[in-house]
């Protein structure tokens, strides 16, 4: 069966709830009336720098001290059984915190855990996990985490402030570029007594840093080889999480088993989570094999992103016996799937050239002929959320932020009128072609005898790098569209390992990529779009953006003290990214498509973030 679940569905009455309600998006319902006084007291404590159970990026946490569980879990979910998940690609390391290698990412969260845990029904709020409390001041110039005395690594040894400080130093010096960037902002770090650690920050005005530190994974100093940390390895990291690595078949599968002595199993943030005794992750080298394995019930759940497959290939014998197909509408910005220009390449350095190539992508034809008209066109890096500038006139705060950078945003983007080019869906839209050729002519490229050439007679040629058959199909269709303008685009399909290596080292002309965004974008935007990340391998600034205006908007969103200021800064950033024409904007799905076998069950209500496998369970055998 197939159903679309909307999170705007009418809620049950508050009296029926075991936990306080958290509504969709930013319009979160406040807790029951009796909690109002409690919030006033905790807010006053926060201003005074006293310990709290939670911290929100803006505003107050939705759940009070002593809450029993999150709304989007089944607190009475049965424990036991096994969940098998399938993944496309391979892996050559169990350390996801370094640049080198293609790591098994699920180590984080299942094996290692952070000081605090995210509440998935709020834009960005964290609740105590390893840290039973958090303390900061109104300016967020420091943060203190007090460690829960019960916290233990899987070998039974306690988590100490020294483990936290060791991890901070290790990731600051040897971790991924985002870790190095974030953690280098700490000006002083020290243990306070036997159970607390304090981090102090400079005067840069980054209000997100306490939350960034709260999400830092905590590694065991006594079991981590700092000297060899940057090397790929199949030796599991020792963590304090609910699972341990039980079996590794290099490049093929990883099996995690629940730690029966897991210290945090009774915490409110964990109630209703981690319900399987065993988690297995099987890897498949190509998309067809991956799907065929699901049809044979070799893994339990599949997140589908191919409209053609979703529409036509799920009517197989095993599916008729009860396969559950559903679409979950999330409250997050839609994933930004795009074809990325590497502006480090001279051929893409001119914005007029990039705009011309955007003109030549015929979305209407592709959606109709390749994707069963299932996609929606994207026109924003924060599509489908209040953070998006699409269809919105810039407000006074945005204009003030952008005034220092005249000409950096197109007039139609400022006025909320910009949409990507719309074709007649024929695949031969002459108006779009004329518009593209005019832009190319202005940039010094001329169509001569069917070939686009510069003034020196050099042909316009580049390569589109892909790693899957689905992306290859898209790239080949786009190459045919470009051919009408005399542009030669070669499509190169490589294995996942080579793709990842070339992407991380910016060794490509164009490639497909998806940026996932939250409702509280912050320091990761430096990692994605800032000038300082453009030349650092391993960052996600794949387009090579180097813009003082973009850098200033990122600084503004990090220093915003109110939600209103924050939203304006993010929208201004969105306008700059759209105006820069750094990508060919593609499309997004209307919902999160999931197919699962009926024995795998999930809570009735999804989180703001959509489906969370850690909340699922296996139905008991009757």
Q: Which whole-number Å values give the CA distances from 199 to 143, 168, 180, 181, 188, in the listed order? A: 5, 10, 15, 15, 6
Q: Which whole-number Å values give the CA distances from 195 to 133, 143, 153, 183, 192, in the listed order? A: 11, 14, 15, 21, 7
Q: Tens of pLDDT along 86-142?
A: 999 899 999 999 999 999 999 999 999 999 999 999 999 999 999 999 999 999 999
Q: Tens of pLDDT along 17-45?
A: 333 333 333 333 333 333 333 334 344 34
| Rounded (to 5) percent helix, strand, coil in the chain | 30, 20, 50
Contacts of 519 (CB under 8 A, 6+ apart): 25, 26, 123, 124, 331, 332, 333, 385, 387, 608
Residue 49 pLDDT: 78
Contacts of 122 (CB under 8 A, 6+ apart): 22, 28, 56, 61, 62, 608
Tokens 């030669």: give the residue.
488
Residue 321 pLDDT: 84
Question: What is residue 130's three-state secondary structure?
Answer: coil
Ranges of beta strands (E only) in 27-141 are 54-56, 82-88, 116-118, 125-128, 131-136
Residues of the chain with CATH 3.10.105.10: 336-588
Contacts of 182 (CB under 8 A, 6+ apart): 209, 212, 523
In this structure, what DSSP letter does residue 226 have? G
**Distance (Å, whole) CA 406 – CA 481:** 34
Q: How many other CB atoms are found less than 10 A from the CB of residue 429?
A: 21
Residue 205 pLDDT: 62
For residues 154 and 240, the answer to whether their CB atoms sit within 8 Å is yes
**Distance (Å, whole) CA 430 – CA 29:** 51
**Distance (Å, whole) CA 271 – CA 76:** 8
**Distance (Å, whole) CA 465 – CA 468:** 10
**Distance (Å, whole) CA 182 – CA 159:** 23
**Distance (Å, whole) CA 549 – CA 520:** 20
For residues 531 and 553, the answer to whether their CB atoms sit within 8 Å is no
Tokens 């105590």: give the residue.
128
Bridge-based pairing of strands 600-601 and 617-618 is antiparallel
Give the ranges where 252-377 is alpha helix by DSSP (H): 287-295, 307-312, 351-359, 363-370
**Distance (Å, whole) CA 211 – CA 134:** 10
Angle between the N-to-C axes of helices 363-370 and 469-483, in degrees from 0 to 180, rounded to the nearest 10: 140
Is 2-251+593-618 assigned to CATH 3.40.190.10? yes
Residues of the chain with CATH 3.40.190.10: 2-251+593-618
Query: If residue 92 lies in a helix (H) or strand (E), which one and from where to where?
Result: none
Residue 42 pLDDT: 41
CATH of domain 336-588: 3.10.105.10
**Distance (Å, whole) CA 579 – CA 413:** 7
For the chain, residues with pLDDT lower than 70 are 1-48, 204-205, 621-622
Residue 22 pLDDT: 37
- Residue 533: both structure tokens together: 């990340």
Tokens 């006594």: give the residue.
222
Residue 204 pLDDT: 65
Largest CA distance in the chain: 77
**Distance (Å, whole) CA 415 – CA 391:** 8
Radius of gyration of the chain (CA): 25
**Distance (Å, whole) CA 89 – CA 75:** 34
Residue 286 pLDDT: 87
In this prediction the pTM is: 0.78
């Amino acid at each position: 069966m197939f159903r679309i679940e909307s999170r705007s569905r009418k809620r049950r009455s508050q009296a029926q709830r075991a936990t306080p309600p958290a509504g969709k998006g930013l319009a979160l319902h406040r807790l029951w009336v009796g909690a109002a006084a409690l919030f006033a007291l905790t807010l006053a404590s926060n201003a005074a720098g006293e310990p709290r159970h939670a911290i929100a990026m803006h505003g107050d946490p939705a759940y009070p001290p002593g809450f029993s569980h999150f709304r989007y879990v089944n607190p009475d979910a049965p424990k036991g059984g096994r969940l098998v998940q399938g993944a496309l690609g391979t892996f050559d390391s169990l350390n996801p915190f370094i640049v080198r290698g293609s790591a098994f990412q699920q180590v984080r969260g299942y094996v290692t855990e952070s000081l605090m845990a995210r509440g998935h029904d709020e834009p960005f709020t964290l609740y105590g996990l390893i840290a039973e409390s958090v303390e900061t001041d109104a300016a967020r110039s420091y943060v203190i985490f007090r460690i829960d005395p019960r916290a233990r690594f899987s070998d039974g040894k306690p988590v100490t402030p020294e483990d936290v400080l060791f991890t901070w130093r290790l990731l600051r010096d040897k971790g991924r570029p985002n870790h190095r960037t974030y953690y280098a902002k700490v000006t002083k770090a020290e243990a306070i007594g036997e159970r607390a650690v304090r981090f102090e920050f400079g005067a840069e005005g980054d209000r997100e840093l306490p939350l960034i530190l709260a999400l830092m994974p905590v590694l065991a100093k006594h079991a981590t080889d700092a000297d060899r940390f940057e090397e790929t390895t199949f030796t599991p990291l020792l963590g304090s999480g609910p699972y341990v690595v039980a079996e590794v078949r290099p490049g093929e599968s990883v099996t995690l088993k629940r730690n029966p002595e897991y210290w945090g199993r009774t915490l409110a943030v964990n109630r209703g989570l981690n319900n399987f005794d065993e988690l297995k992750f099987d890897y498949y080298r190509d998309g067809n094999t991956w799907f065929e394995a699901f049809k044979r019930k070799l893994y339990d759940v599949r997140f589908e992103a191919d409209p053609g497959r979703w529409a036509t290939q799920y009517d197989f014998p095993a599916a008729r016996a009860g396969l559950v197909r559903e679409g979950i509408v999330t409250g997050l910005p839609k994933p930004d799937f795009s074809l990325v220009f590497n502006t480090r390449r001279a051929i893409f350095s001119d914005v007029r050239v990039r705009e011309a190539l955007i003109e030549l992508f015929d979305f209407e034809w592709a959606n109709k002929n390749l994707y069963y008209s299932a996609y929606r066109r994207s026109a924003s890096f924060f599509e489908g959320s209040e953070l998006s500038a699409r269809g919105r006139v810039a407000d006074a705060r945005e204009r003030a932020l952008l005034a220092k950078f005249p000409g950096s945003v197109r007039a139609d983007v400022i006025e909320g009128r910009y949409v990507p080019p719309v074709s007649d869906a024929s695949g031969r839209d002459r108006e779009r072609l004329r518009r593209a050729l005019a832009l190319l002519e202005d940039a010094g490229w001329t169509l001569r005898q069917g070939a686009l050439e510069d003034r020196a007679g050099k042909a316009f040629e580049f390569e589109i790098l892909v790693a899957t058959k689905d992306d290859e199909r898209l790239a080949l269709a786009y190459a045919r569209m470009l051919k009408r303008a005399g542009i030669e685009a070669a499509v190169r399909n490589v294995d996942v390992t080579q793709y990842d290596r070339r992407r991380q080292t910016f060794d490509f002309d164009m490639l497909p990529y998806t940026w996932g965004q939250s409702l509280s974008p912050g320091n990761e935007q430096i990692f994605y779009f800032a000038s300082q990340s453009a030349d650092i391998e391993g960052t996600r600034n794949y387009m090579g953006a180097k813009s003082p205006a973009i850098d200033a908007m990122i600084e503004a969103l990090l220093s915003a003290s109110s939600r209103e200021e924050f939203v304006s800064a993010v929208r201004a950033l969105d306008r700059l990214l759209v105006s820069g024409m750094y990508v060919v904007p593609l499309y997004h799905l209307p919902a999160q498509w999931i197919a699962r076998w009926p024995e795998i069950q999930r809570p009735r209500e999804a989180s703001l973030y959509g489906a969370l496998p850690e909340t699922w369970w296996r139905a008991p055998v009757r």
